[in-house]
Amino acid sequence: MTQITKMTVAIPQIKATSFLTVADLSSEELVQVLDYAAHLKALRKAGTPHPLLQRKAVAMYFEKPSNRTRVSFEVGIFDLGAHPFMLRKEEINLGVRETIADTARTLSRYVDGIMIRTFAQKDVEELAEWATVPVINGLTDEHHPCQILADLQSMRESFGPDLKGRKLVFVGDGNNMAHSLLEGGALMGMDVTIACPASHQPLPAIVDKVKTMAAQTGSTIEISDDLEKAAEGASVLYTDVWASMGQESEKAEREKAFTRFQVNAELLARSESDAIVLHCLPAHRGEEITADTFEKYADIIFNQAENRLHAQKAIMAVLMG
């Protein structure tokens, strides 16, 4: 039996008290969280109980739909011996029924952690500012940090723990996924290219911040609409929907802008021979990815979805354990 299946691995310590963006972690902390996620995955596969949050309670609040985030958090919280429960928009109505500060201070009197999926990053920041328990960002318009933990865990499973120098290419919209992948890739020392139309680039403020991070880890950051060139040398081709949750009315206009920005066999032929395809899901076949490419990499993509469970358990244990 390897060391990884023993319960003695210490929970990593991090400086941050909440997890709102990937950049809340240092490079070293991120690696430790990912190592811990691998440990928790091995424990679960071995059937070894790991009730690290016994008798705690974790609230989950969603203002957008979810399959993976909802289910992986609920199962993960249960796995850790804590009590998960959902708060609906009709119940909390964040920032409308009462101030965000009052919601934060009230919930902090009952629960040990709050997971939130909403629109504005600033609302999650305000919640975390007033809460006295950890807040975990389960997706905003700007960031999706939990997804990136699972993505990096998946990349390490394919390429080994050291991702330094590997090229990660995100194809599509300069959205929440692009922002969080930029941060995660830079912290891991990866070379990250966002291949997107000039009209849909990531937010300049985030790109600037990530370039500073990249200078410290020796990674490179590129934003380009030259998709074919971007794919050259790629170890990971990553894509996401063209229209995110909340952008449904822009669907037709976005379909036009993104037609070229698709992960398919031709693009893969330009990347490294051992390249993998990742997708945060949900997937729209025939849009950001072809059906045949999706199915070819389905095992990797659904393992990536599974890793949400392990990675989020790790960050919850770190923040609330």
Q: Which residue is nearest to ligand CP (CB)?
A: 69
Nearest to 116 by CA among 124, 108, 104, 106: 124
Alpha carbon separation from 171 to 37, 73, 85, 225, 264 (Å, rounded): 26, 27, 35, 9, 11
Among 54, 67, 199, 216, interactor with ligand CP by CB under 6 A: 67
Starting at the earlier edge strand, list the strands of the sheet with 236-239: 221-224, 191-195, 167-171, 236-239, 276-279
| Shortest distance (Å) from residue 283 CB to ligand NVA | 10
Q: Is 308 tagged catalytic?
A: yes
Question: Candidates 39-47, 63-71, 90-98, 118-126 — which segment interacts with ligand CP by CB under 6 A?
Answer: 63-71
Instruction: Note if 151 is an active site residue.
Output: no
Residue 260 region, left (φ>0) first, then alpha (ψ -120 to 50), else beta?
alpha
Marked catalytic residue, from 144, 179, 254, 310 = 144
Residue from 280, 283, 305, 318 in contact with ligand NVA (CB under 6 A): 280
Residue 303 interacting with ligand CP (CB under 6 A): no
Between the two ends of the chain, the Cα-to-Cα distance in Å is 25
**Which of 183, 240, 287, 288 is close enough to bind ligand NVA by CB under 6 A?**
240
Chosen from ligand NVA, ligand CP, none, partner binding at 67 (C-beta under 5 to 8 Å by type) = ligand CP
| Residue 69 lies near ligand CP (rule: CB under 6 A) | yes
Amino acid of residue 75: V
Q: Which of 39, 68, 117, 143 is catalytic?
A: 117
> Active site residue: 200, 279, 308, 310, which one?
308
Of residues 143, 153, 200, 280, which has the active-site annotation? 280
Residues recorded for the chain: 321
Tell the residue number behind the tokens 């020392």, with chain if given: 189
Does 139 sit near ligand CP (CB under 6 A)? yes
Question: What CA–CA distance (Å, rounded) separates 309 from 77?
Answer: 9
The residue ranges that bind ligand CP (CB under 6 A) are 66-69, 139, 147, 280-281
- Active site members: 117, 144, 147, 240, 280, 308
